[in-house]
Structure 1
Amino acid sequence: MGCQASKTCCFHGARKKRRHKAKNEHELNDVNDNGTQKIKDNEQEIKNLLQRFQEEKIALEKANSIKLEEVEREIKEQAKRDANVERERRLSEKTSEMKAEMDFKIAGKAKYFVVQKIMVSMP
């Protein structure tokens, strides 16, 4: 039967209120504990992501430095090849000039020799 008397004599209502209050506090504590656990989980996930990011960053830096060294080596090799080609071109030009000079000198000496031969053969 219900308690319709004063609040002081109604133990059932007070007990019910206490149980309800305790239940609410327990639920709030559970929610708080769940929230705290979620925060800890999120913090751990952030730490893991940061660590993975650092590892990827280091790996990319190593890969980029290797690529950079390879590109530098290729550029140096290309510069050497270009220098060799230029050197060969200049040597070829110089050789052509020297050959032309030698041909001119030989032609001059051949004329001189022919003239000398003609002069010697004339009485």
Structure 2
Amino acid sequence: MKRQGQTLSLKNLTKSNVWDIQENDVFRLWAQAERDADLRDNERHYIDVIKSAFTIEEVKVDRPEVIKKYEARGCQVGEIRLDEGTKVKWALKKKPILRVTDLTWENIHHVSAHKLIEVLERNFGGG
């Protein structure tokens, strides 16, 4: 995934460009970053950036029927490695932009004009 001449990674992921990626990209970027030594030092920052655009739920019960429930809710489930080598399953889902209050400085540039009109009509009525 390229962005203005550079390859996107966790290191250059921001609260603005995180809206350009999907759930599977988060897992892929995290897997690539696991090879970097500074992942451990900046892990909290990376999670905060991801949380600005995605809902993250830790999957505590790793059974197929539980995974299916997450997937039925539109989440993508994947495994990541946190500091000290602990493996954790996350259920990720991109945050929807349904209300005016969901719009932020970071995500407004990633909303189509059509979607923006939908959000405004939903909040103020059409007509």
Q: TM-score, normalised by structure 1?
A: 0.21
Which of structures 1 and 2 has the bigger CA Rg? 1
Higher strand share: 2
More RCO (CA 8 Å, sep 6+): 2
Higher helix share: 1
